Structure 1
Amino acid sequence: MKDSEIILGNVDGSLLVGMNNGRLELPFNNNIYLLTVPIAGINYYIRYKDLIISNGDKLILKREPNNNFDTYAIEVFTQNEIKLGYIPRRNNKVFARLMDGGKRLYAEVREVQYYFDEINEIVIRIFMNDI
């Protein structure tokens, strides 16, 4: 083994972490599914008739700790920074604490329901990106 090469393993010999030439190589990057929920408040935030949102679209989750109505509020945005609404209050406390603790959470559109030509409900799946 060279000086710039370090391999750490557990008792059974499986690889945990490898370092080569000062670069840390991680063996996995996990996206952990947490919950499926509808976005709350879309009727207040979706004002674009031409908003195109599809199943599988990735969404951005942002904490809003200074929200006057909910200290655990988490906003939901499209990749283009269009606010869609919030994670429902009944589901957001654990997610808010994870985000406050430095965990990266994101969402993915599971289903878009329409009433005539307008978006009636957006159901999302919440994931935690864990390294």
Structure 2
Amino acid sequence: MDNGLEVRKEGVVSLVENHDLGDIIKPLVKDIHLFDSYVAGTTHLSDKSVLEDIEVGDVLMLQREDNKFDSNAILILDGQKRKLGYVPEKDNIVFARLMDAGKLLKAKITKIEKKGSFTQISVGIYLVDF
């Protein structure tokens, strides 16, 4: 029998989200708005079709990434787990610390602006709490 301490990176909410217990806890879950930002790196996407499929109000997933250029890198993914870009480096340190501590964060699209071939996506970043 292993009595060792198991360290898990998922927050409590993410562990029960897709389980029966998640249906019980769901009414207790609240989103706390932390910050308004934008999606960085949309011009470097290998699959730009994701930009045609998103809409204002869509909920986006945030995921930490092991990145040699930015130790606090946070990926922004659509509902199908396709890469949209990143939380801007200038904004990500506190969010990375929260996520590393097991907190669940998400983003919601607040505005989409097409500027020629560039798409600017504004997002609100939320802490999922219960």
Task: Bin the TM-score by the shorter chain.
Answer: 0.7 to 0.9
Q: Which amino acid aligns with 1:48?
A: S
State the match for 1:35 in structure 2.
35
Give the TM-score of the pair, scaled to structure 1.
Answer: 0.73
Give the TM-score of the pair, scaled to structure 2.
Answer: 0.74
Superposition map of 1:34-113 within 5 A: 34-45=34-45, 47-48=48-49, 51-64=52-65, 66-113=66-113
**Would you tell me which structure has more helix in proportion to its own residues?**
2
Deviation at 1:93, TM superposition (A): 0.4
3-state SS in 1 of match to 2:49 = coil
Q: Which runs of 5+ in 1 are unaligned?
A: 1-22
State the match for 2:12 in structure 1.
none
Q: Which amino acid aligns with 2:54?
A: I
State the match for 1:5 in structure 2.
none
Deviation at 1:62, TM superposition (A): 0.3
Deviations 1:39-92 (A, max 9, x none): 11010015228722111001010001x200000000001001110100000110
When the two chains are superposed, the root-mean-square deviation of aligned CA atoms in Å is: 2.1
User: For the residues of structure 2 that align with 1:54 and 1:95, how far apart are their CA atoms?
Assistant: 24
Q: Which amino acid aligns with 2:128?
A: N
Number of residue pairs the alignment of both structures matches: 106
Q: Is the 8 A contact 1:63 1:99 kept in 2?
A: yes
3-state SS in 2 of match to 1:51 = helix
